[in-house]
Structure 1
Amino acid sequence: MIGSIVTTTKGHLQGTVENGISVWRGVRYAKAPIDGLRFRSPEPVEKWNGVLDATDYGAVPPQPMERAVRLGMTGNEKMEEDCLFLNIWSPNADNQKRPVMVWIPGGAYITGAGSIDMYNGHILAGNGDIVVVSINYRLGALGYLDFTEWTEGDGAFESNLGLRDQVAALKWVKENIEAFGGDPDNVTVFGESAGGNAVTTLLTVPSARGLFKQAIVESSAPTSVYGKDFARQFSQKFLDILGIGENEIDALKTLPVHEIVAASYTLLQQNSQDIPGSLSFGPVVDGDFLPDYPLEMIRSGATTGIPLLIGTNKDEATLFDQVDPPLIPTTRELIHKMFENTDPEAEERITSAYLSYPKKEATLGMGRDAIFHMPSVWYAEAYSRQDKTWMYRFDYQTPALKASKLGATHGMDILYVFQTFDSALGKRMTAFGGKRAALKVSQRIQGHWINFAKYGNPNPPEGEIWPKYDEINHYTMIFNKRDYIEKDPNRMIRLAWEGVGMYK
């Protein structure tokens, strides 16, 4: 019988039962990455005696709170380097092996946590009769800057620490989730934004193989993964901001964490202007943990029989345009600079495909397509050559989003997947009404996600309504007040972007 006390491979945990759903919060999946483990790979937790309390969320990863509150945090969260925790929601029933969905939160790899209220897995778990897991992982410089070339020996810095944390969390799920009513052989990993990038990357990480069966990718930037040479400039700038020389790199191991967070935020702001369209923090092709660029690996056939559901939002860029400086290129000046840095010969061809360029609608569309939509299309095209792939576009907007001119902006799909309209963000998005209509859209989207987790197919068992994606038809599910299938949406724009060079 599943109850609030469970036994993991390392010890007992005491959770709680809330409205028929068992919940365990703040479950440690790796040792605290502090002291000698700062800038090192995560290590497994040690066994403990007695029963550990798992009723409260663990600390969120160190991050700039001025950005975190935009994701839905209150600003009062406990924030510590000891942050490698996960949370579990499971239907309170007999010992059944239910499908498992592991959520990787987004936030540009500098903000985020699995405990944000719009990620509450209660409704998703109950509606789907599945087990939902959300995770934390290291962010900013602590998780995603590469200092490896400046260190060596036993105390050397290691690469891709946030990505390694995600693999460690998935290994913990594999080893322990059966005790919580989950099926360790039927795990779906899903994530949005940076979390989506994590999923498109994990699909090519050798050590992640066998840890999940399906993958759902929401608003990923699949090409925001860089080689060591390109990534070095971010690490170098970070050291310059702190006034630390390359030969003084070990000072980072004892530097107060608030100074690391502040320097990470400064780097993010500078980079959005200096190298528009690139991501300061993200996976690095180190030739070992991450052997090659994910898109190139997928194109070479490095898939492993894992069904993929992938998509983007119609108005991804409007959210970023409200930030100064914008984190993605949404102005004519930043777009021009992006092409100067990557593929100058492609600029005229691509800008001419947007009929109103350089008006705001067109520059927002270019920012969306450069970072999210076109890289997701390229990834889906390559993936569909080997494995089952489905693609969507989220178009729905509530009255509040229409009034604010945000539209179907970045991150809004999350509310519909988790059906968390009572979260802080959900309440704002339905402040002018429309909750009943949004709930109907959510029921359909959530149903597809649940089907995918159960069967490896977003369609209901009784018949196909969502055809697979391929390079000939480009069938795409459009989620709106009424859903429909569109063949090759925005074909001319897709063709204009073919073969464009990106940051590497």
Structure 2
Amino acid sequence: MSANEATLIGAANETEPVVATSHGLVRGVHGGDVYAFKGIPYAAPPVGPLRFRAPELPQSWDGVRDATAFSRIAPQPVMAFVGSKPREMSEDCLTVNVYTPQLGDAGLPVMVWIHGGAYYVGSSADPLYDGSRLAAGGAVIVTFNYRIGPLGYLDLSSFSTAEDEFESNVGQKDQLAALAWVRDNIRAFGGSPDRVTLFGESSGAGAVTTMMATPSAEGLVHGAIAQSSPAGSVYTRETARRSAERFLQRLDVAPGDVHRLRRLPAAALIEACNRLIVDTSAAEPGTIPVAPVVDGELVPEYPLTAMMRGQALRIPLVIGSNRDEAMLFRLLRSPIVPNTSKAVQLMVERLGTPEALAVPSGYRGYPRLRPALRLSTDAAFRMPTVWAASAHSRYAPTWAYEFDFAPPLIRVAGLGAMHGAELAHVFDTHVPKVVAAGAVSAGRRLTARMQARWLSFASIGDPNPVGMTPFWPRYDTERRSTYVFDSRDRVVRDPRGELRRVWGDDIIAFR
């Protein structure tokens, strides 16, 4: 079967629909208003000689493959997240999940989700990312697993030899492979390969903004939504090599013996990487040793720089951040984002430039904890968002937002609109205990508005559904109109402009 022959086989079988993909038949389930297909391979298992290499096409299969349950997730540290449960891990994890309200050639808009997790945790199986309710609004939702941590975002390419090649950015290459699968197969699931919106949160949003600076993504993506993108967390090959050297030291592997990494158990690699991440975050706040790399090939330029020069994909973009991002990392005691006064001060000192050293003067009360956390939020998420919106808006339609909503008890606790707080509204996957904390009806109405905005953008390239108010104007560097999601949505011109001016227009980031 050719790549363009993905077709619906069993439309008449409502409860167990069967679809033909380019590599074989898959059987899903139908529940409520949505069909769901899970665990469909989009690439071969990246094991043995394929570890640390670009993904290859999966083998075709005979018969009908069961696609009613999630596949195993990418190897990662065992961590507990609200609403999730431990799942079996395996390097054989490169699979997609499809949620759709219609099967066959319906031409629906497609939304492809990249999960977050600081490039080293997370999966598409997290209940928070269940695409059923979003799909019921009239789009095909695709989620997928990709390689993370040392297997996906540790750059060992500088240790390659003629006999043994290690590639950079293999996690990003997995994402490209998933997008290629969507192009070749999504018609049979009701979607249009010509209306694909790539969206993600946190490192998933960082992957989105990096994909916008990836020339080979041209034609695979037609719109982008970046929710809390650490767009500046993309590093040089020299920085990546230093991280790789420290990783090898933790495994007691000499650079000349790097080939041994193909034979070590994945668990050993994950443990060494986890220690490296913790140590790096403590010693070098604001950096993470596993992240996309400007390799001159897949990613030829820093995403923010590419946007400034008009070299990024000139596609419509929705981009934003949450008002109190750093509070989640404070709550979880996670060093990934600096969340103590000492760590924030060390981050500023490490940036080192006169412009960076002047930034704290704009935060009244600094270095006390609250202003320090506001600075950390701005450094990691808000200012990269502003820089990206400012740059991209010169070349393509751009809309900026800020998410400010938090139930009353969450606000009273001092947590506010933390990192990831918008996710339950985008997917309508509310955790009951969080919803019960107050403002249930206001939260539900906000969910309906966010979903309508996201679906409108996916459908027509504009987040303004007919008749919805307030009108969300495009972002430009004169007005800097920003849509604020809250109990009552509003449009604000240049929110906290005084702090934006303290940071300036030049990109301040670790490289």
Q: TM-score, normalised by structure 1?
A: 0.96
2:510 corresponds to: 503
CA 117–325 in structure 1, closer or farther in 2 if over 3 Å, else same? closer
> Alignment partner for residue 53 of structure 1, among 56, 63, 66?
66
Distance 2:249 2:127 in 1: 36
> Could you list the runs of 5+ residues in structure 1 that have no partner in the other structure?
none
Match of 1:102 among 86, 99, 112: 112
Give the direction of change, closer, same or farther, for the CA distance of 1:261–1:94 in structure 2 (3 Å limit). closer
SS at match of 2:39: strand
AA of the residue aligned to 2:324: D
Residue in structure 1 matching 2:493, options 483, 487, 493: 487
Paired amino acid for 2:457: F
SS in 1 for 2:304: helix
Give the whole-Å Cα distance in 1 for the aligned partners of 2:242 and 2:67. 41
Q: Distance in 1 between matches of 2:213 and 2:171?
A: 15
State the 1:92 CA deviation: 3.8
Task: Summarize the alignment of residues 446-461 of structure 1 with structure 2, pairs less than 5 Å apart.
Answer: 446-461=451-466
Structure 1 CA distance for aligned equivalents of residues 82 and 219 of structure 2: 31
- Output the aligned Cα RMSD: 1.5
Check whether the contact 1:298–1:379 (CA below 8 A) recurs between aligned residues: yes
* Matched-pair contact (CA < 8 Å) for 2:410–2:437: no
Counterpart contact for 1:188–1:215, Cα < 8 Å = yes
1:82 lines up with 2:92 in the alignment: yes
**Are the aligned partners of 1:62 and 1:81 in contact in 2 as well (CA < 8 Å)?**
yes
2:215–2:313 CA contact under 8 A, matched in 1: no
1:230 to 203, 217, 239: 239
- Contact persistence 1:87–1:134 (CA under 8 A): yes
Q: Is the 8 A contact 1:272 1:325 kept in 2?
A: no
Q: Is the 8 A contact 1:13 1:54 kept in 2?
A: yes
Asked if the contact 2:410–2:416 (Cα under 8 Å) also holds between the matched residues in 1, the reply is yes
Residue 38 to residue 174, structure 1, CA distance change in 2 (3 Å): same
1:336 corresponds to which of 341, 345, 348: 345
What SS does the aligned partner of 1:392 have? strand
Residue matched to 1:309: 318
2:435 pairs, out of 415, 419, 430, with 430
**SS of residue matched to 2:362:** coil
Residue 77 (structure 2) pairs with residue 64 (structure 1):
yes
Of 125, 134, 155, 1:115 maps to 125
Shift of 1:474: 0.6
Q: Who is 2:378 aligned against?
A: 369
2-side partners of 1:51 and 1:357: how far apart? 61
| SS of aligned partner of 1:226 | coil
Q: Which residue of 1 aligns with 2:158?
A: 149
Amino acid in structure 2 at the alignment position of 1:491 = G
Q: Is the Cα–Cα contact under 8 Å of residues 41 and 164 in structure 1 kept in the other structure?
A: yes
Q: Does the CA contact (< 8 Å) of 2:483 and 2:491 recur in 1?
A: yes
Please list, as runs of the form range in 1=range in 2, the aligned pairs for 1:277-316 lying within 5 A after superposition: 277-316=286-325
- Indicate the SS of the match to 2:122: coil
Find the aligned partners of 2:212 and 2:278 in 1 and give their Cα distance.
Answer: 30
| Distance (whole Å) between structure 2 residues aligned to residue 305 and residue 37 of structure 1 | 33
Q: 1:500, CA displacement in angstroms?
A: 5.6
C-alpha distance in structure 1 between counterparts of 2:387 and 2:394, whole Å:
11
Check the 8 A contact 2:303/2:312 in 1, yes or no.
no
Distance 2:256 2:133 in 1: 51
On the 8 A contact 2:214/2:312 being kept in 1, the answer is: no
1:344 CA drift (Å): 4.2
Q: Do residues 20 (structure 1) and 37 (structure 2) align?
A: no
How much does 1:324 deviate? Answer: 3.7
- Which is further off, 330-339 or 481-490? 330-339
Give percent identity, aligned residues only.
Answer: 39
Q: Is the 8 A contact 2:130 2:427 kept in 1?
A: yes
SS at match of 1:496: helix
Shift of 1:58: 0.3
Quote the Cα distance in structure 1 between the aligned partners of 2:373 and 2:48: 43
C-alpha deviation, 1:95, in angstroms: 3.8
Q: CA deviation at 1:503?
A: 0.8
TM-score (norm 2): 0.94
Write the deviation string for residues 286-318 of structure 1: whole angstroms up to 9, x where unpaired.
111111111111111113331000000000000
Contact 2:104 2:188 in 1 (8 A): no
Aligned mates of 2:37, 2:104 — CA distance in 1: 17
Instruction: Indicate conservation of the 8 Å contact 1:399/1:430, yes or no.
Output: no
The whole-number CA distance in structure 1 between the counterparts of 2:336 and 2:128 is 22
Whole-angstrom distance in 2 between the partners of 1:94 and 1:233: 49
AA of the residue aligned to 1:444: R
Deviation at 1:191?
Answer: 0.1
Cα deviation digits, residues 61-93 of structure 1 (max 9, x gap):
000012xx2364312x11111110111001146
SS of the residue corresponding to residue 36 of structure 2 reads strand
1:349-387 deviations in whole A, cap 9, x for unaligned?
211111121222101101100010001100110000000
Q: Does the CA-based 8 Å contact 2:116-2:122 persist in structure 1?
A: yes
Q: Secondary structure at 2:391's aligned position in 1?
A: helix
Unaligned runs of 5+ in 2: 1-7
Distance in 2 of aligned mates of 1:370 and 1:347: 10
Asked whether the 8 Å contact 1:190–1:215 carries over to 2, the reply is yes
Seen in structure 2, the aligned counterparts of structure 1 residues 71 and 227 have a Cα distance that, compared at 3 Å, is farther
CA contact (8 A) 1:101 1:453 kept: yes
For 1:73, the equivalent position in structure 2 comes to: 84
Pair 1:183 & 2:192 matched = yes
**SS where residue 103 of structure 1 aligns?**
strand
State the one-letter code of the partner of 2:47: I
Residues 163-242 of structure 1 mapped to structure 2, 5 A cutoff: 163-242=172-251
In structure 2, what is the Cα distance between the partners aligned to 1:116 and 1:91?
A: 21
Q: Distance in 2 between matches of 1:284 and 1:465?
A: 38
Task: Map residues 321-400 of structure 1 onto 2, 5 A cutoff.
Answer: 321-324=330-333, 326-400=335-409
Which residue matches 2:255? 246
Given the alignment of the two structures, is residue 131 of structure 1 paired with residue 144 of structure 2, yes or no?
A: no
Residue 468 in structure 1 maps to residue 477 in structure 2: no
Displacement of 1:403 in angstroms is 4.2
Q: Give the whole-Å Cα distance in 1 for the aligned partners of 2:354 and 2:348.
A: 8
Alpha carbons 1:303, 1:387 under 8 Å: kept: no
Q: 1:151 to 1:348 in 2, by over 3 A?
A: closer
Check the 8 A contact 1:343/1:500 in 2, yes or no: no
The number of residue pairs the alignment matches comes to 496
- Report the counterpart of residue 3 of structure 2 in structure 1: none
Residue 402 of structure 1: how far off its partner (Å): 2.2
- CA offsets per residue over residues 449-502 of structure 1, 9 Å max, x none? 000000000001357700000011110000000000000001110011113632
Distance 1:446 1:371, change over 3 A: same
